[in-house]
Amino acid sequence: MKKIAIDQFSELVKVLAERGPLYAPVKGKEGVNFQAIKNPADVTLDFYNTVLSPKSVFFPQSEDMIRYRITHGATEAQPVPQESRPAVILGVRPCDVRSFEIMDRHFLGAGVIDPYWKSKRDNTTVIGFAFDVSAAADPADFYNTFGYGAADPEGSDVFMVRTDKALLLKSMTDRGKKLLDSLGFLQVAGAQDEKVFEETVKKGKAVRTRSAEINPQVIAKKLVSVFDNGEFWQKVTMACIACGACTYGCPTCYCFDISDEMLFKEGSRKRFWDACTFTDFTLEASGHNPRPRIFQRYRQKVCHKYSYHVDKYGCISCVGCGRCTRVCPVNIDIFSIVDEANKL
Amino acid sequence: MTAFKKIEDHLRKEAKNLLEGGKVTLVLAYARGFDEKHPVPCVVKAAADADHLVFNEYCTYNMARYLTRYPVGTKIAVAVKGADSRAVVQLIQEGKVRRDDLVILGIPATGMKNQKTGEVIDAKTTASTINPVLYDVLLGDEIHGVKAGSPYDVLAEFEGMDKDARWAFWKKEFERCIRCYACRKACPMCYCDPCFMDASRPRWADKSPTDDGTLMYHLTRFYHLAGRCIDCGECSRACPVDIPLHLFHKKVAKECEAMFGQAAGMNIEDKPAMANFKGEDSDQMLG
């Protein structure tokens, strides 16, 4: 294990940012969010969790796949080369780290490998960051439901714990070890630091978020059985205004749309985030929409995450980070809805 | 100080009576969310459920937003605060809802708070419209004697900027936009179906979140709400990345009021400013 004094932190950021793309939390007007770092002084470690999830590092909101030009009736098209430089994402909370594994199942394990996700994921070292284990969890969080603790190092390449004066950095994978070994200016942590690290992980297990007994296999079947209970779905989604805030904030929502957009003779084929709550999400070319009503679309959201995803990939597509509830303009709370459905 | 508890009791009682008496089939108001600080908009259809209704300083939602969801002829009781009542008036003026279908439960309230920050939002939004402009039943007592400035006071800083600074200001704000469309969906006056942003033939703006498309979206929305925005501030509160959309709407509202002599949704006898022609209308826009 390695460590670095808090007042030297900007040194670490500087070196990482010089080596290749570094994504880290930056304070903006809206709160803290992950950004590609240009100025090391921008990075902050003083935040609870980012407003939007870190998924945009591997799955940007908008991404060009092909660029094309139309000349004399012919089209020249070039696939957009994928990023191949090694990158680092620093400061990911433990529950969010788990979201990457869930997204991997979809983008890498569905029989077709998604090259856009893969190139970025393969080249990026994840530095996880423990929540402050002496503070209470945000009331919207419910990551305990999935058995996650506030300082679980699993899933990170390097896991970072903040103490009064230092940051402890422990490598969890070979990739993480390689990164730490390459940073010669880090100090070697002592036995006392190891103890603090272990104690933090343990204390993290005792940080309580909202929690419910939700067994993936059971809830998957349950939701199918209540699918036709229109009264229930209408009641719990009445307030939904059908915006995309929850989806865009979510670390495990992966639906995207594709569109060719061009100006004069040049354009690109892009993929960009889409949301199942949008009116036109399932609008067909004929004009027919199989999910014209808001409750049908929100039901799709819940069932996809807690039922269909379990059937297809063996796990629930939610990590309990609480973002969807926090960013919802009308406080719709997926945790309460699933908990209520579970008890029907 | 607003007597929130008293209003809540009154709201429950009124909702119960209206539903029991068959005067309305549904009541649009507020209920407890996952905790007290996070209420949710709710619809009550049975008198027995009226006890679930709540009212506290975090009930910022403009419930008029939900009115256009129901077919004309549905008898609805709707709880509205000052600015929210202006939305009801504006919707009636625009022929989207019928006065006869509504029982308006007016709530005079000051000290409403932003759920995220706890900050009192009165000055930013409803300002001088503390008492509902139209109601059938008043829950609580009208509030008078509160020193509230003009709703346009918050524009001072913005109006102090020159053209270039304003352009730079909005460009920077819109950089954060993630196109979740929470602003249009939270807006009681945004009821176009389909919204021009969802049209694909022709496509008026990029569907992907490009800077140009984002500008097209917001500017079109700002101008489509000219003379219609009733200053409830829902757009800014709904925004997950805190873009101060209400500032632009206020600026347009101020210009409209100066040019056409009326503020949106203040008087049920008015015709919508943009759908009316008066001999004395300002020619300023023609240069």
pLDDT tens figures, A241-261 = 999 999 999 999 999 999 999
Question: By the CB < 8 Å criterion, does A331 face chain B?
Answer: yes
Model pLDDT, residue A72 = 85
Average pLDDT rounded to a whole number, residues B5-31:
97
CA B6 vs. chain centroid, Å, equals: 24
- Angle, alpha carbons A191-A196-A199 (nearest 5°): 125
Specify whether the CB–CB gap between B89 and B134 falls below 8 A. Answer: yes
Indicate yes or no: CB of A330 within 8 angstroms of CB of B40.
yes
State the Cα–Cα distance between residues A248 and A240, nearest whole angstrom: 15
Asked if the Cβ–Cβ distance from B238 to A62 is below 8 Å, we say no
User: CB–CB of A1/A193 below 8 Å?
Assistant: yes
Of A275, A278, A331, the CB nearest to B38: A331
Query: Is residue B31 pLDDT above 90, yes or no?
Result: yes
Measure B242 CA to nearest chain A CA, in Å.
Answer: 5
Q: Answer whether B39 sits within 8 Å of A331, measured CB to CB.
A: yes
pLDDT in tens, A104-126: 999 999 889 999 999 999 999 99
Chain mean pLDDT for chain A: 96
CA distances from B204 to B159, B195, B201, B210, B216 (A): 30, 10, 8, 13, 8
Task: Inform me whether the C-beta atom of residue A31 falls under 8 Å from chain B C-beta atoms.
Answer: yes
ipTM of predicted assembly, 2 dp: 0.94
Whole-Å CA distances, A286 to A9, A258, A282: 57, 18, 11
Q: Would you call A238 and B43 a contact, using CB atoms and an 8 Å cutoff?
A: yes
Q: Does B284 touch chain A (CB under 8 A)?
A: no
Q: Tell me if chain B has a CB within 8 Å of the CB of A249.
A: yes
A53 has pLDDT over 90:
yes
Task: Tell me the pLDDT tens digit for each residue of A198-223.
Answer: 999 999 999 999 999 999 999 999 99
| Residues of chain A contacting B238 with CB distance shorter than 8 Å | 241, 243, 245, 329
Determine the pLDDT at residue A116: 95
Residue B253 pLDDT > 80: yes
Is B48's Cβ below 8 Å from some Cβ in A? Answer: no
Q: Does B278 have pLDDT greater than 90?
A: no
Q: How many CA atoms lie within 13 A of B20 on its CB side?
A: 10
Round to whole Å and give the CA distance between A3 and A159: 11
Q: Which residue would you say has higher pLDDT here, A84 or A116?
A: A116
The answer to whether A330 contacts B210, with C-beta atoms less than 8 Å apart, is no
The lowest-confidence range among A8-17, A75-84, A313-322 is A75-84
Per-residue pLDDT at B286: 73
Mean pLDDT of B198-202: 85
A336 and B CB contact within 8 Å: yes
Lowest mean pLDDT among B61-65, B69-73, B121-125, B136-140: B121-125
pLDDT band at A7 (very low <50, low <70, confident <90, very high): very high
Whether residue B1 is predicted with pLDDT greater than 70 in this model: the reply is no
Distance from C-alpha of B79 to C-alpha of B105, rounded to nearest angstrom? 5
Cα dihedral across residues B15, B16, B22, B25: positive or negative: positive
Of A29, A52, A243, the CB nearest to B181: A243
Asked if B119 and B111 count as a contact pair (C-beta separation under 8 A), the reply is: no
Window 211-230 of A, Cβ < 8 Å to B: none
Whether chain B has a CB inside 8 Å of the CB on A30: the answer is yes
Name the residue in chain B with its Cα closest to that of A245. Answer: B180
Do residue A278 and residue B210 have CB atoms under 8 angstroms apart? Answer: no
Closest residue in B to A329 (Cα–Cα): B238
Nearest CA among A145, A35, A44, A52 for reference residue A96: A52
> Distance (Å) from the C-alpha of residue B153 to the closest C-alpha of chain A?
22
Residue of chain B whose alpha carbon sits nearest to that of A333: B34
Contact B178 A52 (CB under 8 A): yes
- The answer to whether the predicted template modeling score (pTM) of the entire model surpasses 0.90 is yes
Q: What is the pLDDT of residues B71-99, one digit of tens each?
A: 999 999 999 999 999 999 999 999 999 99
Instruction: Report yes or no: B194 at the A interface, CB cutoff 8 Å.
Output: yes
User: A181-198 pLDDT, tens per residue?
Assistant: 999 999 999 999 999 999
Q: Is the pLDDT of residue A228 over 80?
A: yes
3-state class (DSSP) for residue B173: helix
Chain A to chain B Cβ contacts (< 8 Å): 102
Amino acid at position A262, single letter: M
- pLDDT band of B126, cuts 50, 70, 90: low
Question: Average model confidence (pLDDT) for chain B?
Answer: 92
- B61 in contact with chain A, both atoms CB, cutoff 8 A: yes
Q: In whole angstroms, what is the distance from residue A116 CA to residue A60 CA?
A: 10
Q: What is the pLDDT of residue A304?
A: 98
Mutate to test the interface with A, among B180, B200, B236 (most CBs of A within 10 A): B180
User: What is the signed CA dihedral for A99, A103, A109, A113, rounded to 10 degrees?
Assistant: -140
Chain B positions touching A140 (Cβ under 8 A) are 34
- Which residue among B43, B185, B206 sits closest to A241, beta carbon to beta carbon? B185
Which residues on neighbouring strands pair with residue A33, listed in sequence order? A26
A86 and chain B: CB distance < 8 Å anywhere?
A: no
- Tell me the per-residue pLDDT of A266-307, one tens digit each, with 9 for 90 and over: 999 999 999 999 999 999 989 899 999 999 999 999 999 999
CA–CA gap between residue A318 and residue A320 (Å, rounded): 6
Q: Does B174 touch chain A (CB under 8 A)?
A: no
With CA atoms as reference, report the closest residue to A251 among A122, A129, A93, A17.
A93
Nearest residue on chain B to A285, alpha-carbon basis = B200
Inform me whether the pLDDT recorded for B201 exceeds 90. Answer: no
Judge whether B192 and B204 are in contact, CB under 8 Å. no
Q: What percent of chain B clears pLDDT 70, i.e. is strictly above it?
A: 98
Which stretch of A105-109, A174-178, A270-274, B203-207 has the lowest confidence by average pLDDT?
B203-207
Helix (H, G, I), strand (E, B) or coil at B188: coil
| Strand, coil or helix: B137 | strand
Q: What is the pLDDT of residues B143-164, one digit of tens each?
A: 888 877 788 888 999 999 999 9
The CA distance from B147 to the nearest CA of chain A, in Å, is: 29
Q: In the 8-state DSSP scheme, what is residue A288?
A: -
User: B125: pLDDT confidence band, cut at 50, 70 and 90?
Assistant: low
CA–CA distance, A22 with A19 (Å, rounded to integer):
8
Cβ <8 Å between A245 and B238 = yes
Q: pLDDT digit string (tens) for A298-327?
A: 999 999 999 999 999 999 999 999 999 999
